[in-house]
Amino acid sequence: MSSYFTDLAQQYIDGEWRPGTGSWDIIDFNPYDGEKLASITIATVDEVDEAYQAAARAQKKWAATNPYARRAVFEKALRIIEDREQEISEVIVAELGGTFLKAGFELHLVKEFLREAIHLALRPQGRIIPSPVDGKENRVYTVPVGVVGVISPFNFPLLLSLKSVAPALALGNGVVLKPHQNTPIVGGSLVAKIFEDAGLPGGLLNVVITDIAEIGDAFIEHPIPKVISFTGSDKVGRHVATVCASQFKRAVLELGGNSAIVVLDDADIDYAVDAAVFSRYVHQGQVCMAANRVLVDRSIADEFTEKFVTKVKSLKVGDPRDPQTVIGPVINSQQADALSGVVEQAIAEGATALVHGTTTDNLVAPSVLTDLPADSDLLRQEVFGPVAFLITFDGEEEAVSIVNDTPYGLSGAVHTGDIERGVNFAKQIDTGMFHVNDGTVHDEPIVPFGGEKASGLGRLNGESMLDAFTSLKWISVQHGRSGFPF
């Protein structure tokens, strides 16, 4: 495993591994024990430019490559991940502080999305559209946008990098990837290594490990990329969207959430408890789709709350390398401090802590809070960690109102004994995704993924990848002579 953190602690530009030329280093730490994993000299604005220039040079030939030949690269990338799954899991656990359960969950999805990328290489098709003009043939071609800039987050860095990188490449584009500073290997250079070993031509995929303190807006302002795919906070996403709009770039934004899981009066309570605990506490709650809010009909609230609290108290907190651990560390000390602040603020506002988790270094034990005043801002913001807000309601109408009372609209779930009641409930929620009798955390390769309101712009997955990473070009052919009015 350690070879990943030594061999891959570099920039990957124009098919070459090389150090950055910045004046300082990003230090990659294990969030559980503070071990220094890697030291990476950051990329400068010049190297961002070199990366985009390399992608643009390589892209034309790649776009002209037979899509069956492009497809072979993704088939090999999938085999590489399957062959190296155990060592990649160990790297995920070390760099992210995720458990092996979480690493397995992420790698399962990575393989599913690579399988979809294999098919996506053959998806673009041309169309012939009728014309009102005699003798005219209208051809519509699906073409690559050119070069795509991808900015990925720290929570599922391998998945959320590959989720944009692989489809963009499969559809004939070049890519420059900027991973999060806390996950430069898993979210960045590991992706480059997989595709290098899979035979992707040099220059098509470039990875720049850097920080906005060094490059400012250079990554998103650069004139070459036509699309910026960003996954992260709505605050940064708003800025990315503003810059892109000013330069007529397409922005694909997968942003934060404040999802709710709703338990109606006819729900299977034990099953709903299991779904709610997973939806809130998977990967320490560092998931955009996580259920910040757990809404329970007042008629079953006592039974649900007792069982929910009991299960939360049973979650083992500690070393993510321990197979029994469910709650590992959050990504850094700033996140840990912020989460402690959220709990203290909630209690100061009048909330009752049914479970009051302690914080030790980056280990934040689960908290369960109830009776938070309905006007509290904490109920409307994203809480990226293991803190659950329990809320009671009287009837569906009130539940719908509470769920929608947030700037976000990403995911959610409802539990009920009546499937159609659940579907009708879901239709009233202002989200891009909603699940009946399940958890809030789901992603599938061919189902449109994305949010409403402050949770983002656009969709990814399946056919939506064509909308994100290709453009339409109309070429008309006039058979015979056209008539002109003068």
Q: Which of 50, 106, 214, 254 is catalytic?
A: 254
187: which DSSP letter? I
Residues 6 or more apart in contact with residue 64 via CB below 8 angstroms: none
Question: Cα separation of 281 and 292, whole Å?
Answer: 9
* 35 catalytic residue (yes or no): no
Phi-psi sector, 464: left (phi>0), alpha (psi -120 to 50), beta: alpha
Among candidates 134, 440, 46, which has minimal Cα distance to 282? 440
Q: Is residue 379 a contact partner of residue 353, using CB atoms and an 8 Å limit? A: no
Q: Is residue 33 a contact partner of residue 26, using CB atoms and an 8 Å limit? A: no
* 288 catalytic residue (yes or no): yes
Q: Is residue 473 a contact partner of residue 141, using CB atoms and an 8 Å limit? A: yes
Q: How many helices (H) and strands (E) does the chain have?
A: 16, 24
Strand 367-370 relative to strand 363-364, pairing: unpaired
Report in angstroms the alpha-carbon separations of 333 from 254, 329, 340, 358: 24, 9, 11, 14
Task: Walk across the sheet containing 127-129 and list its strands.
Answer: 127-129, 136-144, 470-478
Question: Cα separation of 355 and 308, whole Å?
Answer: 10
Cα dihedral 473, 479, 483, 486, rounded to 10, equals 60
Three-state SS sequence of 218-259: HHHHCCCCCEEEEECCHHHHHHHHHHHHHCCCEEEEECCCCE
Among candidates 187, 225, 223, 222, which has minimal Cα distance to 207? 187
Q: Is residue 339 a contact partner of residue 383, using CB atoms and an 8 Å limit? A: yes
Q: Which of 95, 244, 288, 396 is catalytic?
A: 288
Question: Cα separation of 170 and 113, whole Å?
Answer: 12
Which residues are catalytically annotated? 254, 288
